[in-house]
Structure 1
Amino acid sequence: MSSHHIVRDDQEPALIIANGAPCDAELLGQLLEWSPLVIVLDSAMERVAKLGIKVDVLLGDFDRDFDTEYYKQTQYPIEIVHTPDQEKTDLEKAFDYLIERKIPAVNVVWATGKRADHTITNITNIVQYRNRLKIVILDDHSKIFLLPNKFEKWYPADTIISLIPIGNVNGIHSKNLFYPLQGDSLTIGYRTGSSNHVVLDGIVTIEHQEGDLLLMECFD
């Protein structure tokens, strides 16, 4: 796996590599090629280093006798960020780091799979960063992000789209989805918009009045 390119003025999203299930090497390579900044959580660093990836920031609480000196030498120059706060996950701490650096957007890989509690937490926690950081979580089967109150995007017909509410979401309207939403409400655990799909090649519009609504572009 080659090292990433440096993109001028942080015009492209940063990349966070968490510690869930690995994604396809081609997806990871595409993201690395255009990421101006690569952050790796300490729990994933050994796996990442074995892939030959150049890391810009290593972040975590560094428990379990983690050897930061080794990576200072083998990944030089690298920024080591110690984040001992146990009230937040390491992924949340990485988001906070990007906000402090005024980086507006990030892609996240290796954040799903393996432990179900980590997957659910990583996906649902992105809602707290609304209006502060644009977050996209990717794996081999999904692209997940938080919707603004009005969302429009071109999709090819039959693209699988799932709408997952975090809590309760009201006043949802859609256009160009097979199962239309017309002022509907969705509530996690009771009614979600899973496994909808695009009717025709063209713009899909999704609007909602209140609540936190995730969109998942799904690939079987």
Structure 2
Amino acid sequence: MKKYYLPLPDREMETVILANGEFPSHSVPLAILNNSKYLVCCDGAIDNLIKTGRIPDAIAGDCDSLSKENAVRFKDIIHRNPDQETNDLTKSVQFCIEQGRKNICILGATGKREDHTIANVSLLWEYMKEVNVEMITDYGVFVAIDSDSVFESKEGQQVSLFSIDNKPITLKHVKFPVNDHVFTNWWQATLNEATGNEFLVETSGRTIVYRAF
């Protein structure tokens, strides 16, 4: 059974992707950004990144949001993908997969536009087929699962589940336990609370698990 740990500021991530949502401001995602071993920037996010003095290892996307100045400045690390069927975040994930990178942390994927936020979170279900991926925001962390999993937590930590498949879910070691229940709408498994240092999710369906900071 796989265990998912809470992100820590001193965690050194193998691969970090910075998307073009709200730039991280919480201490945890900011530290992860600064400590990343390999940083891939979605093309639209480069303007905010360079303001911090940080230069990415690669820039990926269709490059429609890239200024002419930055297109010239970073020409040696730009990996252009013109596919209009996928967004820049997916292009960045695909680039990482092509590079053999299997452990990915996504930052800056929420905020600004709600439709982009929902789309980016839901894409975790697609990415999980090929990589170990988590999405960290200024407020918490999202991961996608499709099998029984253990999650590191803190007593009183807010926990939400979002189920896409009509598969039974069992949730243990939370304030409101769930036993073999099928959820039919995303809101139904939200706003729970961990009762200790870990909780258990049992399911065979695609599920997003969120733990608030």
Q: Bin the TM-score by the shorter chain.
A: 0.7 to 0.9
Q: CA RMSD for the aligned pairs?
A: 2.0
Of stretches 59-68 and 13-22 in structure 1, the one that deviates more from structure 2 is 59-68
169, 183, 187: which is aligned to 1:186?
Answer: 183
CA distance in 1 between partners of 2:33 and 2:23 (Å):
14
CA distance in 2 between partners of 1:42 and 1:128 (Å):
21
Deviation at 1:54, TM superposition (A): 1.9
Letter in 2 for 1:188: N
1:98 maps to 2:106: no
CA distance in 2 between partners of 1:28 and 1:64 (Å):
23
Unaligned runs of 5+ in 1: 1-6, 73-77
Deviation per CA, 1:173-196, whole angstroms, max 9, x where unpaired? 12111111100012335x521110
Q: Which residue of 2 aligns with 1:153?
A: 151
Describe the SS at the equivalent of 1:170. coil
Would the alpha carbon gap of residues 124 and 183 (structure 1) be closer, same or farther in structure 2, given more than 3 Å must change? same
Could you tell me the TM-score, scaled by structure 2's length? Answer: 0.86
Could you tell me the TM-score, scaled by structure 1's length? Answer: 0.84
CA distance in 2 between partners of 1:115 and 1:15 (Å):
22
8 A Cα contact 2:43 2:66, kept in partner: no
- For residues 56-205 of structure 1, the aligned pairs below 5 Å read 56-63=57-64, 66-67=67-68, 68-72=71-75, 78-165=76-163, 167-189=164-186, 191-199=187-195, 201-205=196-200
Which structure has the bigger radius of gyration? 1
1:206 maps to 2:201: yes
Aligned residues: 201
Identical positions, percent:
23
Describe the SS at the equivalent of 2:206. strand
Would the alpha carbon gap of residues 64 and 18 (structure 1) be closer, same or farther in structure 2, given more than 3 Å must change? closer
Q: Which residue of 2 aligns with 1:4?
A: none
Letter in 1 for 2:176: Y
Higher strand share: 1
Deviation at 1:13, TM superposition (A): 3.0
CA distance in 2 between partners of 1:188 and 1:103 (Å):
33
Point out 4+ residue stretches in structure 1 off by more than 6 angstroms: none
Unaligned runs of 5+ in 2: 1-10
Deviation at 1:202, TM superposition (A): 3.3
Deviation per CA, 1:108-165, whole angstroms, max 9, x where unpaired? 1111010111101100011012231111111111200112411113322111110111
